[in-house]
Structure 1
Amino acid sequence: MSAPLTLYSNPMSRARIAHWMLEEVGAAYEVEWIGYGAGMAAPDFRRLNPMGKVPVLVHGARLVSECAAICAYLADAFPEVGLAPAPADRAAYYRWLFFAAGPLEAAVTNRALGFEVDKDRERMAGYGSFDRTMDTLERAVTAQDHVAGPAFSAADVYVGSHVIWGLDFKSIEDRPAFRAYAERLRDRPAKQRADTFCETHAAEAGLPPGQ
């Protein structure tokens, strides 16, 4: 697609996932940096995303929010890059994208906030328990080099971001399988470009260093 791409972002946010995905796609894009507080509460930005959160991707007349959705959208919008399996082979791709967006993020966030699900109420939580979520994630990243099949895909951008951040900020368990998976992804040139870009802007804006 030749329509212009604009990413609404903050360098110290989940929007770094979208930066990584855009670098993998290789398409030119503009960035609108949005600050926390007044910037994300501004009426113009709330019209784009009533949640008042980044990232938001605008692609011509199309608007996408939520990191997993942005990753999946870009993979489909630029099929020539090969970041999504063929439609008939997407079972694992969808499974792990949505596992990370749902159970994994909920389990990690609740643990960070000090909230633990009572044993007799685990069925009420989509992730069941933190330990079960970690075990499931470990199986996902050890079954093969990439979570959705033999090739790197948008699912690795999203799942990999959770694993890398989780290790860096100690919000997931430090397991050898997680470290091995993270190291396979840290060296990707697209990730390094995205990290450098975001860190450069953060430094220019006087923000603390991130990941």
Structure 2
Amino acid sequence: MKSKFVIILTIILYSKTLLAQVGIGTTTPMATLEINGDLKINTTTFETDEQVIRDSILVISQDGIVNRTKATNILNASLPTMVKASMSGGGNILHVILLGAPETIKYDTETIDNNNEFDTTTHTFTAKQDGIYAVNAQIKISSLISVSTNFGIGIYKNGVLIAEEEYLNVHTGAFSVSSPIRKVSTVIDLVTGDEITFKLSSSIASVDLLGNQTESFFTIYQLR
């Protein structure tokens, strides 16, 4: 009977040891094995299985825990922002200017958006990472507008105008003597959460923009 008790006690103590947390360089381990210091591995096996290579990369989280992730997740997280968008359809896209206030341009079709940062419903770009960005935009006014009017395009950061091209579109009789195109570009510093929008300004109440992707579009590219 005594020997059975010893065996049971040994099993219980051994089980607790297996479930215990081990610390190297720390007396309060927060994981099954916690190392407070350098880790050196002298020999490794070269992995040739492509599936393992794609799906079994180890990364260290902000709290120091080692986790597994996919190689594509690492690549996507480190890719610079690239966005290009235009308008759906190739016809005239009406933009109404209320009380002279610039109107958000209806870029609603993406060609490229590798980090999913542009919302085609709100027509707003929201930065997901800090960096320096090159921003370019262009619009082309419809030939149906036959009056002289100011019109232009502006780049707005968090609702504040930071770059603009605007000048008078001159008509003489049935002919326009000014370029129907306005384009603007700038380089700006963005932090995560900053928003970029593009707005149309005009001295008349409504403007038709040509929606073809070669005529009205914008691009955003992260430089670093």
> Which structure's CA Rg is the greater one?
2
**TM-score of Structure 1 vs Structure 2, range by shorter chain:** under 0.3
TM-score (norm 1): 0.23
Q: Which has more helix, going by share of residues? A: 1
TM-score (norm 2): 0.22
Q: Which has more strand, going by share of residues? A: 2
